[in-house]
């Protein structure tokens, strides 16, 4: 599937044994993966797996304590988010970096406004801003009714889409998406997934952070699965199936335990008992847990 | 870049927004309606109110409040308050008056020093707010009280009185008077030149707010400071500039007053800071920042001027002024609240 696209080749970004501690807490330990142009690398993990720490390292907020970050094959040290941005790494945060009360076109160019004129008469080129916003959104297949409407009136999916279109327009080569689908309904999430594919088709490298394997599997080319700050594996799509991935993330043993626990809580309540039975059955069906990880790892 | 065929300039669904709803999200609409109502109300009650001399009379207080309200509005759109704005006008006048009459500095030099002092106050306000991330309400409450004490204390120490006068006998006073305090006669009625400066201030502020990058940053830091930092807006510089804009306007208004009256009281400007904020809020500025307009703040100041003089022309006790103002403020914040809810409402 990946071979069908012209992009690929050398990794855009390579992580080699990245670790990060906060005092005695090990947030990340020995994380390695690669991102290629025109590919989507999904980072999966439950809450506390270390996903947020990983994003912050990639977007220049934190420096890793150990390990290497290679951008375009050369060791990279991003001292600040601005430097990462200048290098072409754009992060679309969960809080989106958009101002709800401002018009879509004002938000689109916020911080990088086009200007015309000279000296004190240099003004914000509003005509260009409006035109480019409209064209860029249309180019990504994003259909916004009116670029003059405040961003606050857009739906969550639409906002994510505008943020992605903005990053693409400003020359991002690597797009980091922090849980872009987590707060969205099924349909809206589908819309955002489509834009992820769009960005990939345009030759961008994409890091898609999510806790939802149903969202990750259809768009991903590579999957890094984190748990409690450690890597459960870094797989190409051909190496893992969706069910294996889900099982790896959820942890079969833990589901089984949850089933027993609910059994105890349920007592005589037949409805609750049925739920517990189902969970236990599911856990058994999925077989043994993935690679053992419940060692001394600290919460991420 | 592979941009698909250019989309049509307008989307057929835009029409559904409706003219009324579009107007409703214009921040100055409320204050425009308010100004028209107040004008009609007093014009019906009093002939003098709508005569040329009456108009000149209520435009005068509106102008000095308006210059300040415009600067305060930009600051409020940027998400901050400045409680020291009123007392800084006093500091500006006092500095100029004391430096000329007691230290015999040339008027222009004294005015330049006064400007530097005012801009310094604005810088300190802005720097402290951005550095400490404390609410500007508290920071500027502190500088407000300190300046209030300094104005009184230093004036007494230096001049032994609480009023500094005699500036009119200084050299160059006439030139300064022409710039800051002359009148323009229209239709046989002199109008204060401050009215012209007020209009200039409104136009410049509106232009900056709506047509420049800096204007975009003002809305951004007021709307969501973290989001704007994330996309590279220089939030600290923007906010400090806004504070300095307010204190610069305070210098202008303070200078106007000391040149016009030729003397200045040590308690000059106390309490006016709330007037400016009220004018800005009537003009559609949200207390939470990120929304508002310079034209609206000017209209708010106009409502202020019309009400304060109109009550006198109508032959009422001027005590009613405060009641009117309070009612207007309440109406304004209530309608602003609705606008904000509409603007932020999500159509998930």
pLDDT along chain A (300 residues), means of 10: 48 89 86 90 85 85 87 84 82 76 90 82 88 86 79 81 84 85 79 85 88 87 88 86 80 64 67 68 55 40
Is A196 in the same domain as A300? no
Would you call B77 an interface residue with chain A, using a CB distance cutoff of 8 Å? Answer: no
Give the residue from B341, B304, B310 showing the smallest Cα distance to B34.
B304
**CATH code, domain carrying A202:** 3.40.50.300
User: Domain residues for A256?
Assistant: 251-300
Q: Quick check: helix, strand or coil at residue A53?
A: helix
Residues in chain A with CB shorter than 8 Å from the CB of B7 are 134-135, 138
Say whether both A218 and A159 belong to one domain: yes
Alpha-carbon Rg for chain B, nearest whole angstrom, is 22
Which of A124, A135, A188 is nearest residue B211 as measured by Cβ atoms? Answer: A124
Distance CA A267, CA A104 (A): 54
Q: Which residue has the tokens 């006064």?
A: B114
Per-residue model confidence (pLDDT) at position A295: 39
- What pLDDT does residue A266 have? 63
| Site from A95, A102, A125, A131 to mutate, B interface, most B CB atoms within 10 angstroms | A102
Q: Which residues of B touch A167 (CB under 8 A)?
A: none
Give me the pLDDT at residue A231, please.
Answer: 84
Residues A233 and A162 in one domain: yes
Task: Provide the edge-to-edge strand list for the sheet that holds A89-92.
Answer: A74-75, A66-71, A11-22, A25-36, A230-236, A222-227, A40-44, A205-210, A174-178, A89-92
- Residue A38 is classified by DSSP as T
Tell me, yes or no, whether A190 and A296 share the same domain. no
Beta bridge partners of B65: none
Give yes or no: residues A151 and A273 share one domain.
no
C-alpha to C-alpha distances, B236 to A21, A298, B123, nearest whole angstrom: 31, 37, 11
Q: Which of A95, A122, A152 sits opposite B344 (nearest CB)?
A: A152
Residues of A within 8 A of B226 (CB-CB) are 95, 97
Gap from A218 CA to chain B (nearest CA, Å): 24
- A239 in the same domain as A281: no
Distance CA A60, CA A83 (A): 7
Q: Do A96 and B220 touch (CB under 8 A)?
A: no
The rounded distance, in Å, linking the Cα atoms of A103 and B215 is 13
A293 and A149 both lie in a single domain: no
Q: Is B215 on the interface with A (CB under 8 A)?
A: yes
C-alpha A148/C-alpha B17 separation (Å) is: 11
Contacts of A122 in chain B (CB under 8 A): 212
Number of neighbouring beta carbons within 10 Å of residue A80: 11
What's the pLDDT score for residue A271?
67
Nearest alpha-carbon partner for A272 in A258, A284, A283: A258
Six-digit token string for B256:
């106007």
Pick the CATH number of B29-334 from 1.10.3470, 1.10.287, 3.30.300, 2.40.50: 1.10.3470
What is the residue extent of each domain of chain B? 29-334
Closest C-alpha to A18, from A26, A10, A8: A26
Chain B interface, best mutation among A110, A118, A133, A164, by max B CB count within 10 A: A110
CA distance A188 to A190: 5
Query: Among candidates A138, A146, A124, which has minimal Cα distance to A169?
Result: A138
Whole-number CA gyration radius for chain A = 21
Cβ–Cβ gap A102/B343 under 8 Å: no
pLDDT (tens, 9 = 90+) of chain B, 348 residues, equals 344 444 444 444 444 455 666 666 678 888 888 899 999 999 999 999 999 999 999 999 999 999 999 999 999 999 999 999 999 999 999 999 999 999 999 999 999 999 999 999 999 999 999 999 999 999 999 999 999 999 999 999 999 999 998 888 888 999 999 999 999 999 889 999 999 999 999 999 999 999 999 999 999 999 998 888 877 789 999 999 999 999 999 999 999 999 999 999 999 999 899 999 999 999 989 888 998 999 999 999 999 999 999 998 988 888 888 888 888 888 888 877 776 676 655 443
Does one domain contain both A243 and A256? Answer: no
Of A99, A110, A202, the CB nearest to B290: A99
Going A157 to A159 to A162 to A166, the CA torsion angle's sign is negative
Does residue A194 sit in the same domain as residue A283? no
CA distance B341 to B333: 12
Predicted pLDDT at B13: 46
Closest approach of B24 to chain A, Cα-based (Å): 13
Rounded Cα–Cα distance for residues A216 and A24 (Å) = 32
Q: In angstroms, rounded to a whole number, what is the distance separating the alpha carbons of residues B48 and B61?
A: 17
The reply to whether residue A185 touches residue B232, judged by beta carbons under 8 angstroms, is no
Question: Tokens at residue B20, please?
Answer: 């009324």
Instruction: For A136, name the nearest residue in chain B, comparing CA atoms only.
Output: B3
The whole-angstrom separation of Cα A225 and Cα A76 is 23
Total domains, chain A:
2
Same domain, A232 and A293: no
Q: Across the interface, which of B212, B230, B232 has its CB nearest the CB of A112? A: B232
């Amino acid at each position: 599937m990946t071979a069908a696209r012209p992009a690929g080749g050398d990794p855009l970004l390579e992580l080699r044994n990245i670790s990060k501690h906060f005092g005695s807490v090990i947030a990340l330990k020995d994380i390695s993966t690669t991102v290629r142009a025109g590919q989507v690398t999904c980072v999966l993990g439950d809450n506390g797996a270390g996903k947020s720490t990983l994003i912050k390292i990639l977007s220049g907020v934190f420096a890793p304590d150990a390990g290497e970050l290679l951008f375009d094959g050369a060791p990279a040290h991003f001292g600040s988010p601005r430097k990462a941005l200048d290098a072409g790494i754009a992060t679309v945060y969960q809080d989106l970096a958009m101002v709800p009360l401002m018009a879509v076109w004002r938000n689109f160019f916020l911080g990088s406004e086009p200007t015309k004129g000279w000296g004190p008469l240099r003004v914000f080129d509003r005509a260009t801003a409006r035109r480019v916003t409209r064209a860029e959104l249309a180019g990504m297949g994003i259909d916004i009714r009116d670029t003059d409407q405040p961003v606050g009136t857009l739906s969550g999916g639409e906002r994510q889409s505008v943020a992605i279109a903005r990053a693409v327009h400003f020359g991002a080569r690597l797009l980091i998406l922090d849980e872009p689908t987590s707060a969205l309904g099924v349909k809206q999430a589908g819309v955002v997934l489509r834009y992820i594919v769009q960005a990939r088709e345009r030759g961008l490298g994409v890091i898609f952070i999510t806790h939802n394997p149903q969202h990750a599997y259809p768009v991903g080319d590579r999957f890094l699965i984190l748990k409690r700050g450690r890597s459960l594996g870094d797989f190409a799509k051909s190496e893992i199936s969706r069910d294996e991935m889900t099982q790896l993330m959820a942890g079969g043993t833990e589901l089984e335990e949850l089933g027993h626990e609910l059994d105890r809580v349920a007592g005589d309540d037949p409805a609750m008992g049925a739920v517990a039975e189902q969970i236990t059955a599911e856990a058994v069906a999925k077989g043994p847990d993935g690679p053992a990880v419940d060692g001394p790892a600290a919460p991420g | 870049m592979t941009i698909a065929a250019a989309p049509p300039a307008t989307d057929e669904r835009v029409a559904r927004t409706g003219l009324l709803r579009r107007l409703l999200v214009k921040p100055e609409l409320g204050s425009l309606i308010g100004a028209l109502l107040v004008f009609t109300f007093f014009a019906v009650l009093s002939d003098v109110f709508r005569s040329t001399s009456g108009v000149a009379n209520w435009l005068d207080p509106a102008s000095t409040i308006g210059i300040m309200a415009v600067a305060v509005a930009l600051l409020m759109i940027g998400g901050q308050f400045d409680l020291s704005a009123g007392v800084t006008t006093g500091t500006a006048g006092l500095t100029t008056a004391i430096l000329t009459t007691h230290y015999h500095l040339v008027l222009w030099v004294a005015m330049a020093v006064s400007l530097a002092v005012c801009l310094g106050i604005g810088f300190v306000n802005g720097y402290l707010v951005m550095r400490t991330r404390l609410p500007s309400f508290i920071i500027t409450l502190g500088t407000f009280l300190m300046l209030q004490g300094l104005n009184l204390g230093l004036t007494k120490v230096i001049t032994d009185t609480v009023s500094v006068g005699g500036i009119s006998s200084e050299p160059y006073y006439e030139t300064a008077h022409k710039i800051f305090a002359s009148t323009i006669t229209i239709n046989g009625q002199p109008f204060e030149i401050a009215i012209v400066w007020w209009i200039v201030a409104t136009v410049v502020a509106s232009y900056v707010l709506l047509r420049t990058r800096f204007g975009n940053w003002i809305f951004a830091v007021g709307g969501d400071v973290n989001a704007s930092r994330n996309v590279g807006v220089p939030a600290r510089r923007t906010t400090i500039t806004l504070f300095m804009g307010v204190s610069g306007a305070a210098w202008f208004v303070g200078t106007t007053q000391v040149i016009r009256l030729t003397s200045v009281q040590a308690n000059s400007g106390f309490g006016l800071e709330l007037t400016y904020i009220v004018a800005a809020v009537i003009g559609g500025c949200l207390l939470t920042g990120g929304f508002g307009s310079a034209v609206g703040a000017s209209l708010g100041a106009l409502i202020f001027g019309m009400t304060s003089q109109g009550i006198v022309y109508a032959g009422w006790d001027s005590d009613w002024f405060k009641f009117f103002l309070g009612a207007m403020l309440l109406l304004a914040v209530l309608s602003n609240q609705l606008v904000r809810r509409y603007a932020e409402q999500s159509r998930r």
